[in-house]
């Protein structure tokens, strides 16, 4: 891997744009791998794992947005099934 740098949980939370509590929940659920630091008292996360998680989360959100757009019924435009508006002066 190109980036083999480990970061502590505070920096990992900043890089993901989540709170430290949310990051710990991700780690506890196994959604993001971590390991113990050299002192054995705190966890550290590989930056390439952070990047992979962020990319997967972005792709998932894009997929949800696309599905929502496909389900939406347009209320205007040529594909609309609404009646034409007639302006009487």
What is the average pLDDT across 7-21?
A: 94
How far is it, in rounded angstroms, from Cα 10 to Cα 6?
Answer: 12
What is the average pLDDT across 7-23?
A: 94
Domains of the chain listed by start with CATH number: 6-71 (1.10.1660)
Q: Vertex 72, ends 67 and 78: CA angle to 5°?
A: 125
Position 72 scores a pLDDT of 79
The separation between CA 55 and the C-alpha centre of its own chain, rounded to angstroms, equals 7
The string of DSSP letters for 7-51 reads EEHHHHHHHHTS-HHHHHHHHHHTSS--EE-TTSSSEEEEHHHHH
Does residue 43 surpass a pLDDT of 90?
A: yes
Stronger pLDDT, 1 or 38, i.e. the higher one? 38
Does residue 29 surpass a pLDDT of 70?
A: yes
pTM value is 0.66
Position 76 scores a pLDDT of 62
Does residue 73 surpass a pLDDT of 90?
A: no
């Amino acid at each position: 891997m190109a980036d083999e740098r480990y970061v502590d949980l505070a920096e990992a939370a900043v890089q993901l744009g989540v709170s430290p509590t949310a990051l710990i929940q991700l780690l506890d659920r196994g959604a993001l791998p971590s390991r113990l630091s050299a002192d054995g008292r705190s966890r550290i996360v590989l930056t390439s794992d952070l990047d992979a998680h962020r990319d997967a989360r972005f792709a998932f959100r894009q997929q949800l947005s696309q599905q929502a757009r496909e389900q939406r019924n347009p209320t205007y435009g040529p594909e609309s099934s609404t009646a034409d508006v007639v302006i009487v002066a």
